[in-house]
Amino acid sequence: MRNLIVMGAFGLGYVALQRAFTRHPVFSGQVAERTELIAWNLTLMDCIQQLTELVSDDEMKDILERLEQVRTASLSRERSSLRTLQHNIASTTAEIVRVAGRSRGTMTLEQMRIQNTVMEDVVEVIESILQNIQHNHMLDSLGP
């Protein structure tokens, strides 16, 4: 009986710690203004938020406009939207890789660390999310 009580206490403690330390995305700046994109894909926008520390405001505006085009094409039910979606995803991914990987003149050690993290981890997540969006759109277009 005592063992069950101890196991129950550990279980409740685990659940409490898990809820307390769950990361919730925080959006600011231009990303926070795009509520349609956040509602459309929260994880993608969390990754894009991490790019804001590396790119200029104009570059971020361009990336967000490209993502808006991806969102519009992915929600369209027309057959021609598949080609548009593929083109938009390819150009958006290339632009993200270009601006995130670009070497800037005087980068601090912290900025270099952020850039390495973005290039190694965040870009891969963004690419996989966009591929999933394209895959789901293709499956939806094949439907009845």
**Residue at token pair 């690419």:** 127
pLDDT of 19 reads: 61
pLDDT of 65 reads: 95
> For the segment 51-87, what is each residue's pLDDT rounded down to a tens digit?
888 888 999 999 999 999 999 999 988 878 889 999 9
pLDDT of 66 reads: 95
Note the residue count of the chain: 144
pLDDT of 110 reads: 86
Q: Splitting the chain (144 residues) into consecutive groups of 10 residues, what average pLDDT does each group show?
A: 63 61 70 90 91 88 95 87 92 92 81 87 93 91 72
User: What distance in Å separates the CA atoms of residue 137 and residue 133, rounded to the nearest whole number?
Assistant: 6
Residue 134 near residue 89 (C-beta atoms within 8 A):
yes
